[in-house]
Amino acid sequence: MRFGEKLEWYETRLEIAKLTKERMNQISDYLEVREVVNYNFRDEPREYKIQLIPKPTNLGIGEMWFFKCPNTGKICRKLYSIGGYFLHREAFKQCFYSSQIKSKFERFLDSTYGDYFQSEQIYQEIHKKHLKKSYAGKLTKKYFKLSKRLIKAESINFRDIETMMVFGK
């Protein structure tokens, strides 16, 4: 979803619904808005209402729009599409982040040697065209963290990883 002149909903670059600025101005006088969402999921047409709720920002300037999950009733900024319905993440019972289903040993490997296995991605991130390395003569937090991770990755001995994988120590 993108904010600005209009609210737009996308699923893998396919526009699902749109709410223009004019329509937002018309409905901002109301506390609650229900917008009908029409789309196809695997050639099956879907149509249901999703409630939009404006709330004042913490700065007191304008308002932010939130979704109200049609299933759980929770107010949130993101609705997830799993199985063709846009719902709050707690509406899906068997959905987990990948880190939630890792074993203790896998989490240990990630915390100890994760930077070694991700060193290529870290290197690419550091050398991105628009990454700001310093500001006002000081290193930026992002660049500093990435360079620390890269140094840690380069300091890991491959033999240690090999021993860990073979003997589990």
The single-letter DSSP state of residue 61 is S
Residue 30 has pLDDT above 50, yes or no: no
Burial of residue 146 (number of CB atoms within 10 Å: 0-12, 13-18, 19+): buried
Please report which confidence band the pLDDT of residue 132 belongs to, taking 50, 70 and 90 as the band edges.
very high
Put simply, whether the predicted model's pTM sits higher than 0.95 gets the answer no
For the chain, give the mean pLDDT: 80
| Predicted pLDDT at 28 | 47
Query: Cβ distance 48 to 36 under 8 Å?
Result: yes
Q: List the chain domain ranges.
A: 6-91, 98-167
The single-letter DSSP state of residue 82 is E
Residue 146 has pLDDT above 90, yes or no: yes
Q: pLDDT of 60-95, one tens digit each?
A: 888 888 989 888 999 998 888 877 888 888 888 877
Angle between helices 104-117 and 141-155 (to 10 degrees): 100
Nearest to residue 86, comparing CAs of 126, 45, 124, 37? Answer: 37
Coil/strand/helix, residue 151 = helix
| Predicted pLDDT at 23 | 54
State percent of the chain over pLDDT 70.
Answer: 78
